[in-house]
Amino acid sequence: MNRAISEERSFSLMRPPGHHASADRLGGFCYFNNIAVAVTKALEKFGKVAILDFDCHHGNGTQAVFLKNERVLYVSWHQIYIYPGTGYESESNCLNYPMPPGADHEAFWQLFEKGLHRVEEFNPELIAVSAGFDSYIGDPLTMLRFQKKTYEGIGEKIKSFAVPTFAVLEGGYGVEFAECVFEFLQGFF
């Protein structure tokens, strides 16, 4: 792969979020599944795409769109016992890493490494990221306890794959939301 292409990364500050919308259904605050639209288009050019979703809520819409699509690996790290009430188990090409309320940086990081190992085995030509920041300890809607450094680390790990990568904004509602996004971008770029 051309090195210049392998280092391309972009980030979309699009709102509203999208990963709860499926092909025929709205959900959460989501009307259009931004990541699903982009990945569907990307599959015209790339053979295999991995979608990494670290929003606090399970991306049930994204999973519904790509379930059993062998060219897509969907990996989600999310809180359980919260909307939409899905993602408790992995299914086919959709790998779910649910966390209980109160899970912190260390608990997440162990699961994150497991998921990234599966991404490495899949060997994608493109990585698409559903970047959610509602897992931050200060977010008013959720109960995970990530730190700002968690997001910089996520960005660094994703960058280390050295394949074209793009991210779209998902959730995040706390007063320190912008700082969490900034930390992610520090690692991602």
pLDDT in the model for residue 29:
85
Residues 6+ apart with CB under 8 A from 105: 145, 146, 147, 149, 150
Q: What is the DSSP string of the chain?
A: --HHHHT-EEEE--SS--TT--SS--BTTBSS-HHHHHHHHHTTT-S-EEEEE-SSS--HHHHHHHTT-TTEEEEEEEESSSTT---SS-BTTEEEEEE-TT-BHHHHHHHHHHHHHHHHHH--SEEEEEE--TTBTT-TT---BB-HHHHHHHHHHHHTT-S-EEEEE----STTHHHHHHHHHHHH-
Give the number of domains in the chain: 1
pLDDT in the model for residue 27:
87
What rounded mean pLDDT belongs to the chain? 94
Q: Write down the pTM of the prediction.
A: 0.95
Look at residue 6 and tell me whether its pLDDT is greater than 90. Answer: no
Look at residue 159 and tell me whether its pLDDT is greater than 50. Answer: yes
Residues 6+ apart with CB under 8 A from 65: 22, 23, 33, 36, 40
pLDDT confidence tier of residue 65, bands split at 50, 70 and 90: very high
Taking a C-beta distance cutoff of 8 angstroms, is the pair 124, 100 a contact? no
Task: For residue 141, give its domain range.
Answer: 3-188
Residue for token pair 């991210």? 167
CB atoms within 10 A of CB 52: 26
Question: Which residues does the annotation mark as catalytic?
Answer: 20
Mean pLDDT of 68-93: 98
User: For 18-49, what is each residue's pLDDT tens digit?
Assistant: 999 999 898 888 899 999 999 999 999 999 99
Look at residue 103 and tell me whether its pLDDT is greater than 90. Answer: yes
Look at residue 16 and tell me whether its pLDDT is greater than 50. Answer: yes
CATH number at residue 119: 3.40.800.20
pLDDT in the model for residue 1:
38
Mean pLDDT of 118-139: 97
Look at residue 10 and tell me whether its pLDDT is greater than 70. Answer: yes
